[in-house]
Structure 1
Amino acid sequence: MASYSDLDLEDIAEWPLIPQLVVTVLFIVVIQAAGYWFYLKPKVENLERLKQRESVLKSTVRIKANKVATLPKLQAQLDELSERYDYLSRQLPVQKELASMLASVNEEGLKNSLTFTRIDWGQKQNQEFLYRLPLNIELTGDYHNIGDFSQAIAELPRIINFDDVDWQRVSQESSTLHFRVRAYTYQFKPEVKDEN
């Protein structure tokens, strides 16, 4: 029996069965390793990248689907806020209405048998997106009449808020009260137009 070192690769077909099987198995392993390394491994790495990308895209789709699902609710909220804004903005006076507002306040006082000692606008106060307009009111009258006057002011079509309210009896014996209040209304600032 010849030694395996004497085997010639060119005569492989004449080798004994075991060396032929060993060489064939080694040849198959080398071809598979080369096939894996040069063909299959890049495909597997690409597949892993695609799986990660798929995961990211699924998350993105999920987030966008949630946004789309909440869009009608957000639109309804926006519409409601827009309606409220429009309603409130209609209750704020424009400059040309200030005189008629003052006349309405005066008229409500007279209807309730009150005597004015002062009613005038204070200095306009600049705020973030509004002007606050103070209205100084001083009057005398009966407690219930002052209450009815306050309610009538609250029911006017334009917003007037009472603040810094002070009242006291005209004298110890009298039931007539001196009522002093600083009321406020608000105006939107005119929007600055771009001149470019």
Structure 2
Amino acid sequence: MAKYTELDVEDIVHWPVLAQVAVLAVLVAVLQAVGFWWYLDHKIEDLDQLKQQEIQLKQTVQIKANKVAALPQLQAQLDELSQRYDYLSRQLPVQKELATMLASVNEQGLKNSLTFTRIDWGEKQNQQFLYRLPLNIELTGDYNDIGEFSQAIAGLPRIINFLDVEWHRVSLESSTLHFRVRAYTYQFKPEVKDEG
């Protein structure tokens, strides 16, 4: 039997079977390694990218599922906000109610034994989605009567806020007060509909 170191590659067909199998095994291993590097390595990179995409898609689906799960709660909040908006909008006067509001303020003053020296609307002030309407009020009367008048104004069905309040005694000996206030109410701006 010949030694393996004396084998000639050109005479491979006459080698012993064990040597031929060993060379064939090495050749198959080399071909497998080259095939893996050339073909499968790129496929593994593609697979890794697909796995990353799968993770991202799962996260996206989870986020959307959480949003869908929160929809009933958001709808309930929206319904509550709509109800509050409707309630508040009913407390704001429309243009044709301004004269009635002025009459109601005057009536509350007379009920509380107050004497008006001025009561009129100021110039309408444009704000983001509202108009602010100043109401100038000047009157004289007793401290308690002015307090009851203020409370009665707060109880009116339309919103009137007192700001810039000033008062002083009519004279040093008198308990009668001169009361000046700039009050405000608000109106919604009419919605402008797009024509199109």
Find the aligned partners of 1:128 and 1:42 in 2 and give their Cα distance: 60
In structure 2, the partner of 1:119 is: 119
Deviation at 1:183, TM superposition (A): 0.5
Structure 1 contact 132–186 (Cα < 8 Å) conserved: yes
Structure 2 contact 7–15 (Cα < 8 Å) conserved: no
In structure 1, the partner of 2:192 is: 192
Deviation at 1:33, TM superposition (A): 2.4
Q: How many residues align?
A: 193
Find the aligned partners of 2:105 and 2:148 in 1 and give their Cα distance: 12
Structure-2 change in CA distance of 1:15 and 1:148 (3 Å)? same
Find the aligned partners of 2:150 and 2:140 in 1 and give their Cα distance: 13
Deviation at 1:68, TM superposition (A): 2.0
Find the aligned partners of 2:195 and 2:50 in 1 and give their Cα distance: 52
Find the aligned partners of 2:137 and 2:38 in 1 and give their Cα distance: 92
Find the aligned partners of 1:93 and 1:33 in 2 and give their Cα distance: 85
Stretch deviating more after TM superposition (14-23 or 83-92): 14-23
In structure 2, the partner of 1:147 is: 147
Find the aligned partners of 1:43 and 1:121 in 2 and give their Cα distance: 80
Identity %: 73
1:94 aligns with 2:94: yes
Unaligned segments of structure 2, at least 5 residues = none
Task: Give the match's secondary structure for 2:8.
Answer: helix
Deviation at 1:115, TM superposition (A): 0.9
Cα shift readout 1:23-59 (whole Å, capped 9, x = no counterpart): 1212221332244245533432332122111111111
Find the aligned partners of 2:195 and 2:99 in 1 and give their Cα distance: 32
Find the aligned partners of 2:90 and 2:153 in 1 and give their Cα distance: 17
Structure 1 contact 7–15 (Cα < 8 Å) conserved: no
1:30 aligns with 2:30: yes
Find the aligned partners of 1:184 and 1:49 in 2 and give their Cα distance: 64
Unaligned segments of structure 1, at least 5 residues = none
- Provide the TM-score with structure 1 as the length reference: 0.90
RMSD of the TM alignment (CA)? 1.8
In structure 1, the partner of 2:77 is: 77
Cα shift readout 1:90-139 (whole Å, capped 9, x = no counterpart): 11101000000000000111111111111111111111111111111111
Task: Give the match's secondary structure for 1:8.
Answer: helix
Structure-2 change in CA distance of 1:113 and 1:52 (3 Å)? same
Specify the code of the residue in structure 2 equivalent to 1:4. Answer: L
Find the aligned partners of 1:7 and 1:136 in 2 and give their Cα distance: 118
Structure 2 contact 131–189 (Cα < 8 Å) conserved: yes
Structure-2 change in CA distance of 1:6 and 1:72 (3 Å)? closer
Deviation at 1:71, TM superposition (A): 2.1
Structure-2 change in CA distance of 1:138 and 1:38 (3 Å)? same
Deviation at 1:7, TM superposition (A): 4.4
1:167 aligns with 2:160: no
Stretch deviating more after TM superposition (14-23 or 135-144): 14-23
Task: Give the match's secondary structure for 1:158.
Answer: coil
Find the aligned partners of 2:76 and 2:114 in 1 and give their Cα distance: 46
In structure 2, the partner of 1:128 is: 128
- Provide the TM-score with structure 2 as the length reference: 0.90
